[in-house]
Amino acid sequence: MVLTVVVSPATVYADSEQYEAYEAEDDATATIYGADWFYQTFSTTDAYAIEFVRLKLLRVGSPETLTVSIRGVDDSGQPTGLDLVSTDYTGVGTSSGWYEISFPTAYQLEATTTYAIVVRAVAGDASNYIGWRYDSTGSYSGGNYGSSTNSGVSWSPNTDYDFMFATFGTLVFEIVDAKVFSGYLEDEDWLITVQYLNEYPPYYLQSEDVASLFRLQLKDEDTVVAQVSLPMWGYMPGSIYLSADTVSALEWGKTYNITIIGSFSPYPSDSYVLTANDWLGSDLKRLDTWVFGVADRMGSYYTTSMIVYANNQKVLNDAGAVFFSIGIPMLAATRPNIFQNPSLWTTYSENEWARAYEKEMLQFREAVGDTIADDADAVGDLFNLTGNQAVAAALTGGWIVTAVSLASVVGPAALVITIPFALIGVVAKVLPMTLFAIVGALFVMAFVLHTWFNR
């Protein structure tokens, strides 16, 4: 059975926060009317959904509607293209003051990217205009003031000036909550459940494969202990499962970090530090409570219910079952009482989740670095292999071809000479020692036999 559930967020779950701003002492006013448009650029640190801006403005006469928009910038740092999001505003008073100007929908801004706030009042004139206060000795490092006299066809920046502004929005990338349970599939195992938000632009907007872009990790300070690919985009549940053998070397109740990290530059990440209250033990009824709490919040976020009542009991409906079965595999098998139709989901299996403790992959990544590992993963995806498997196959094939080629030119001694070269693959955690030993032994045997029969 294939069940497709399409949901769209109505409002962002978290409260609005201030991000970029310049609120120093202003000493001058730009007059905005007709074809005279103005802008202020700003640079983001985090990815967030911009919901409104706060500008220090005043009104002279009756310029009618003020239009405020967000645009991208070109290589020279000037506004370019169409408005990404815009709104009209008519509430500016005659006294200089701060005005909150909301956009009709939140727009997702990328991290470490420059944008422009563009302001115009096209119906105004020299006697009826909007004034935007600025600092003529501005020191905002993330952008600058600029103007146009031809309705934005061309722009003139002024890096000495900065307008008074602030941007507000909500994160589109964060770990909201995490809990740890034991006895999920076997005694003394760990199930780490995670509630996260990942609508990271532009990938989310382009429906890119989230599993290839983001990982969910368990970290002991800076050491990655376990990781899985992130299962879904959006405001979702996720999990990391660790077998009893795996956790034998770990400490229950420790302040580990749960981290979401991107596999691409600038490697965006967000972390959640586990506290004593997050270790909930082996009473899986507490897991049920956690699931319903997350489902309620998801329902509010997406304005789509994830829960229904059956026989006076709260259970996950089919929409909720999809997300929780993907985010926490085997949940319907272990907790069938919280599903409306548990039989539909008990056979669900997620291979990536089942090998949550990816020891070889983590060692490979630590040995060669993120850049090489990411390139290897990309090549491996073409052949349905992991990154280290792809490199291992290439290195083994290259080793054999090189050895045979050298042997044909300089003799069978080349078979032995090439063995130290293959040791690089072992040290880099690419070639398994067993494979190295088998192929190396065959080369040594070939060399000995050749030497014996040619005495």
CA 128, distance to chain mean position in Å, is 46
Domain boundary among 306, 339, 354: 354
Judgement on whether residues 214 and 305 belong to the same structural domain of the protein: yes
Residue-level pLDDT at 352 = 44
Domain with 85, as residue range(s), is: 17-170
397 in helix, strand or coil? helix
Q: Report, as an integer, the average pLDDT of 39-55.
A: 94
Domain boundary among 136, 170, 204: 170
- Percent of the chain past pLDDT 70, that is, above it, reads 72
Q: Report, as an integer, the average pLDDT of 171-192.
A: 94
**pLDDT band per the 50, 70, 90 thresholds, residue 12:** very low
Amino acid at 98: W
Residue 281 lies in a domain: yes
pLDDT tens across 246-278, in order? 999 999 999 999 999 998 877 888 899 999 999
pLDDT tens across 210-254, in order? 999 999 999 999 899 999 999 999 999 999 999 999 999 999 999
Element (H, E) at 109: strand 97-109
Residues 326, 349: Cα–Cα separation, whole Å? 8
Name the more confident of 141 and 450: 141
Amino acid at 173: F
The domain total for the chain is: 3
Assigned token pair, 174: 């964060």
pLDDT at residue 7 greater than cutoff 90? no
Judgement on whether residues 115 and 187 belong to the same structural domain of the protein: no
Are the C-beta atoms of 271 and 217 separated by less than 8 Å? Answer: no
Judgement on whether residues 209 and 307 belong to the same structural domain of the protein: yes
Q: Report, as an integer, the average pLDDT of 350-374.
A: 51
Q: Report, as an integer, the average pLDDT of 318-341.
A: 92
Q: In this predicted structure, which of 84-98, 132-146, 351-365, 378-392 has the lowest mean pLDDT?
A: 351-365
Residues 15, 84: Cα–Cα separation, whole Å? 22
Burial of residue 49 (number of CB atoms within 10 Å: 0-12, 13-18, 19+): buried
Q: Report, as an integer, the average pLDDT of 375-393.
A: 63
DSSP letter string over 150-173? STTSS-EEETT-EE-EEEEEEESE
CATH number at residue 131: 2.60.120
Residue 1 lies in a domain: no
Residue 11 lies in a domain: no
- List phi, psi (to 5°) of 194: -135, 135
**pLDDT band per the 50, 70, 90 thresholds, residue 416:** low
Domain boundary among 139, 170, 201: 170
Judgement on whether residues 67 and 90 belong to the same structural domain of the protein: yes
Judgement on whether residues 253 and 312 belong to the same structural domain of the protein: yes
Average pLDDT, the chain: 83
177 in helix, strand or coil? strand
Residue-level pLDDT at 35 = 97
Q: In this predicted structure, which of 99-108, 177-186, 204-213 has the lowest mean pLDDT?
A: 204-213
Residues 410, 450: Cα–Cα separation, whole Å? 13
pLDDT at residue 358 greater than cutoff 60? no
Judgement on whether residues 191 and 290 belong to the same structural domain of the protein: yes
- Neighbouring CB atoms inside 10 A of 434's CB total 8
Beta bridge partners of 177: 195
Judgement on whether residues 395 and 437 belong to the same structural domain of the protein: yes
Residue 116 lies in a domain: yes
- List phi, psi (to 5°) of 177: -160, 155
Judgement on whether residues 153 and 260 belong to the same structural domain of the protein: no
Q: Report, as an integer, the average pLDDT of 340-365.
A: 54
pLDDT at residue 318 greater than cutoff 70? yes
Element (H, E) at 89: strand 79-89
Residue 5 lies in a domain: no
Residue-level pLDDT at 52 = 96
Outline where 338-432 has alpha helix (H). Answer: 351-354, 359-368, 370-382, 387-410, 413-417, 419-427
Judgement on whether residues 191 and 313 belong to the same structural domain of the protein: yes
**pLDDT band per the 50, 70, 90 thresholds, residue 341:** confident
Are the C-beta atoms of 340 and 292 separated by less than 8 Å? Answer: no
Residues 333, 335: Cα–Cα separation, whole Å? 6
Judgement on whether residues 390 and 436 belong to the same structural domain of the protein: yes
Q: Which of 11, 217, 2, 20 is nearest to 109 (CA)?
A: 20
Assigned token pair, 350: 């997620």
What strands, in cross-sheet order, belong to the sheet with 79-89? 79-89, 66-73, 114-120, 37-43, 145-148, 156-158
The contacts of residue 455 (CB under 8 Å, 6+ apart) are: none
Q: Report, as an integer, the average pLDDT of 367-396.
A: 63
Residue 205 lies in a domain: yes
